[in-house]
Amino acid sequence: MSRSEQLFAQAQLAIPGGVNSPVRAFNGVGGSPIFIERAEGAYMFDADGQRYIDYVGSWGPMILGHNNAVIREATHAAVDRGLSFGTPTPGEITMAEKIKQLVPSIEKVRMVNSGTEATMTAIRLARGYTGRDKILKFEGNYHGHADSLLVKAGSGLLTLGVPNSPGIPEDFAKHTLTVTFNDIDSVHKIFAEIGDEIAAIIVEPVAGNMNCIPPVPGFLEGLRSICDDYGSVLIFDEVMTGFRVSRGGAQEYYNVVPDLTTLGKVIGGGMPVGAFGGKAAIMDYIAPVGPVYQAGTLSGNPVAMAAGLASLTQLEDPELYPNLFAKVDKLTSGLQERADAAGIPFTTNKAGSMFGFFFSKDQHITSYQQATECNMEHFRKFYHSMLKQGIYMAPSAFEAGFMSAAHSDADLDETLAAAERAFAELKA
Ligand code: PMP
């Protein structure tokens, strides 16, 4: 038994499923999760001393690689000044100004502690602002685990095969309308019926919780014009895509401006941080200036702000994004070549520094339906072959992959060599 297997057995006695977030338990791929002890740059090291090239990056935050020295030092310095004060601090202003600079559609922003809090509050704010109850989301889009949003929510629920969660009253769920991602006609249709009851559309502008599915041309633009026509709030959930798909997020990359944006992951540099922001007229509807309530004992925590700011500041390096995108190109095209050579039906998607791969005969994956129809047996076998060879990818076919600034050309070559062997094993 490996040390990770021992730890997993022990963890299951004290923690439900042995994990503090479900997908970590490897339900999507079978077998025992690896327990990580430390990470550096592109690598993670497990409890058995094995090194992995990591394409999960703590599920997105580690765009600069693990244990980034600038973030580490800024965080240490903040710790030395005190962990939390429960008062306003200067660092929160710097953070808010930095976010506004990087994401210009955000005129005002509030910090919270997770992506879930950000989306939950954005929805409440949109409802309070419009005086409407219903919201529209897309099947397979995940927006955290707030009650209203845990309806047909992709990701961990897809991995576990649970479409909706018990514990959410039907009375809540009935206000959440769900339509098909990348299908603007389905949105038109529902708005034509009850558009004036819909407070908001919330969307992952690049879907990253049903593998990686970019928007088809016209989809995001269509959502923008429908919201304009019906006076609904357009919320881009950029918890994953923010500072990832490009420096200004998916809204910059696809040039479509939402009313509200939710952020998380990269914004905290690895600390538990989220944020929501957007048009001042809407944001001023939040307490204490407005009637919609939201609060947080540790919101804007000084240590988290220091880590996040040290992360965001480094994103201004003009070389960073072109390099990330080139590495994603090399990885996805290299995987495709090797799968083709082995005769394995396979395709890839990418959006900035996010990528996805599919064991599918379809060459263009644009829908939730297609993502769920992939060959899961191939995915599982490929996954475990890569893991054994020291390549750590998301342990689910319904998660995106993430490139970091720390991945070297040699890391990519090693990954592709491992993939060549994994495809050959699949063939055999
Ligand atoms: N929105 C999106 C698009 C996400 O990917 C996630 C988390 N993967 C969340 C919201 C929830 O964020 P958190 O896990 O920090 O609550």
Measured in Å, residue 37 CA sits from the centre of ligand 1 at 24
Any ligand 1 atom below 6 A from CB of 240: yes
Taking the centre of ligand 1 as the mean of its atom positions, its distance from the CA of residue 305, in whole angstroms, is 19
Indicate if ligand 1 lies below 6 Å from the C-beta of 208.
Answer: yes
Token readout for 143 is: 């927006």
For ligand 1, mutation pick of 150, 235, 239, 398 (most atoms within 8 Å of CB): 239
Rounded to whole angstroms, what are the CA distances from 155 to 34, 142, 191, 230, 348? 20, 6, 26, 30, 18
User: 237: Cβ below 6 Å to ligand 1?
Assistant: yes
Please say whether the beta carbons of 338 and 419 come within 8 A: yes
Question: Model confidence over 81-128: pLDDT tens digits?
Answer: 999 999 999 999 999 999 999 999 999 999 999 999 999 999 999 999
Helix, coil or strand: residue 176: strand
Distance 239 CA to ligand 1 centre (A): 6
Task: Please indicate whether residue 134, judged by its CB atom, sits closer than 6 Å to ligand 1.
Answer: no
Active site residues: 142, 237, 265
pTM (global) more than 0.90: yes
pLDDT score, position 126: 98
Q: Which residues have a Cβ under 8 Å from the Cβ of 69 and sit 6 or more positions away? A: none
Residue 186 burial (10 A CB sphere; 0-12, 13-18, 19+): middle
Confidence class for position 169, pLDDT limits 50, 70, 90: confident
Q: What is the pLDDT of residues 370-402, one digit of tens each?
A: 999 999 999 999 999 999 999 999 999 999 999
Structure letter (DSSP) for residue 399:
S
12: which residues sit within 8 A by CB, 6+ positions away?
Answer: 18
Mutate to test the pocket of ligand 1, among 59, 116, 149, 399 (most ligand atoms within 8 A of CB): 116
Domains by residue range for the chain, with CATH:
3-67+318-427 (3.90.1150.10), 69-314 (3.40.640.10)
Confidence (pLDDT) at 131:
98
Residue 265 is predicted with a pLDDT of 98
* ipTM associated with this complex: 0.99
